[in-house]
Structure 1
């Protein structure tokens, strides 16, 4: 596959017509059809057929449409990054677990990049079980989150911050202010962030220890969304203690008490061995143990939009 072929196919998908795609790309319809034909031959898939109501895409065509947009975006971003590198700019690619990315990464990135005017950080969220593969393939330079447990001896793993998970609910919840046991918690609706969807980390461990049925677990796109539902009294939520400290102090959330309701977790940095890791990654590993870095992660002051570069690809289908 070539970028030219993908660009032609992406235009056909977006516009729904070979003719319109050719006009937008300023080439002939025959040229667009040639590129589509080459893709069909290479992939062994018709990709789409013409019907009376327009183009009908095959499942493979829909998958390629998503990938084409992603690959073309990656190509454009790479061109920009190469130009920046030629001008002396550096890029640090960071993989993070969902909980670290939401609650601690903004403060860390803001403070870390503030020390180096030539450094940009690209953050992407992944299941911690993928950290090793991402590092070995050099897709990312450093990974931060819970210890995935499948780390081989070729990677450097360094713990740097411990935290506590607490169970909270809204002030109007029937169990607010009461001592509760595991049997009562099992019957509640649990409002959870993406961390609950993996098998690694303190939240999945907590749910297994409490034996919370899967049908009682509602997973939201972010921990903040889950906590907002908890404030409304829709259920109980698991949260990092420092992330809900203000809500607990002003009464918007109530910490549930009872035996076995304290769960401790920790984050680690993972990199290739220091001789193979990019200098910026090794610098970050040293930096995260700094007291100022710890305070920045706990307080989360945020980061300037020009310095924060999340890697996000979205495809919408009507």
Structure 2
């Protein structure tokens, strides 16, 4: 059993496909198959079976997947700490869900890096559904935004992580002034909104968020137009092109001024909660713990709730990063 074999297996298990793992690793699919064949022979377990569209793990494969993620993550962390032992500048690798990255990350992390000497951050936008596996693989030190869900087939959070709540928010439906449903005396069923375009930021409405769970409970599947940011989506709504589930504190002033109207929709406003998640049992970094504690302070809350909109998102290769400019 080698680290390379475990890395290949952990990736294939997470992606559910040998082809997808080969693509990420930049090798051929036969090379992935050969590595896993050696691992199967060493452990005396098939580990997975091939199914339509990918692979399905055996009970032994499920058991190994957890160990493989931890071992690979520890190896990567050890390699990084050794290489930075003399030049460590306190770099903190942060995974963030898109709404948090756009609306709060810039102001929060500007304040954090000013308060903590030597701290620097790299923030990448990731899907809520991927946060747990990315933390367990130690691709990131901390995840901010939606709470990472548990393994597939479970309904709760991932118990291998330490998640701390830090900010409550609400989502409300908004439209341009004059939208025909804004003066309805009773709440509008969401199904009545399906005739208009629904706008959202780059993440859309993800299943692992409170908004996604609300949508599932309503039993509807709207066509959602994803734009490069929620700020751009709001501009489309303001121009009368459709509707949007917006962050309540972001649109409060425009609702008060009449530039936007809040639609009375059944089940709204939708309450949400942002979380700061790290590995549990002391397996995370000191800097990640420092941020996790700092993010719950009154100063951090004030920074995240301050007006001013987005600090900026920029694409670098296949990932969206937060651009921390003033």
| TM superposition score normalised by structure 2 | 0.64
Paired with 2:266 and 2:242, the residues of 1 have a C-alpha distance of 19
Q: Alpha carbons of 1:265 and 1:237: their partners in 2 closer, same or farther (altered >3 Å)?
A: same
2:241 matches 1:234? yes
2:123 is aligned to 123
Alignment of 1:40-189 (within 5 A): 43=28, 86-150=86-150, 151-179=157-185, 180-182=187-189, 183-189=191-197
> What is the alpha-carbon distance in structure 1 between the residues aligned to residue 148 and residue 183 of structure 2?
35
Task: Name the structure 2 match of 1:250.
Answer: 257
Match of 1:295 among 294, 298, 302: 302
CA displacement, residues 51-89 of structure 1 (integer Å, 9 cap, x when unaligned) = xxxxxxxxxxxxxxxxxxxxxxxxxxx99xx68x74452
* Residue of structure 2 equivalent to 1:59: none
Q: Distance in 1 between matches of 2:130 and 2:267?
A: 30
Residue pair 2:104, 2:310 contacting (<8 A) in 1 also: no
User: Which residue of structure 2 lines up, in the alignment, with residue 313 of structure 1?
Assistant: 317
Calculate the aligned-residue CA RMSD, in Å: 3.0
For residues 185-227 of structure 1, what are the alpha-carbon distances to aligned partners after superposition, in whole Å with 9 as ceiling and x for unaligned? 233321122343531102222333344433x322222211111
88 and 309 in structure 1: CA distance in 2 versus 1, 3 angstrom threshold: farther
Larger radius of gyration: 1
2:132/2:149 contact within 8 Å kept: no
Unaligned ranges ≥5, structure 1: 1-41, 46-77
Distance across 2 between alignment mates of 1:111 and 1:255: 32
Aligned to 2:204: 196
SS in 2 for 1:196: coil
Q: Using the alignment, how far apart are the partners of 1:187 and 1:314 within structure 2?
A: 33
Cα drift, residue 160 of structure 1 = 1.7
TM-score, scaled relative to structure 1: 0.66
Q: How far did 1:302 drift? A: 8.2
Given the superposition, is the C-alpha separation of residues 191 and 44 from structure 1 closer, same or farther in structure 2, using an over 3 Å criterion?
A: closer
Q: Is the 8 A contact 2:162 2:280 kept in 1?
A: yes
Give the deviation of 1:112 after TM superposition.
Answer: 0.7
Runs of 4+ more than 4 Å apart: 42-45, 300-304, 308-311
Closer, same or farther: CA 275–300 of 1 in aligned 2, 3 Å: farther
* Counterparts in 2 of 1:142 and 1:290: CA distance versus 1, 3 Å: same
CA distance in 2, matches of 1:259, 1:44: 49
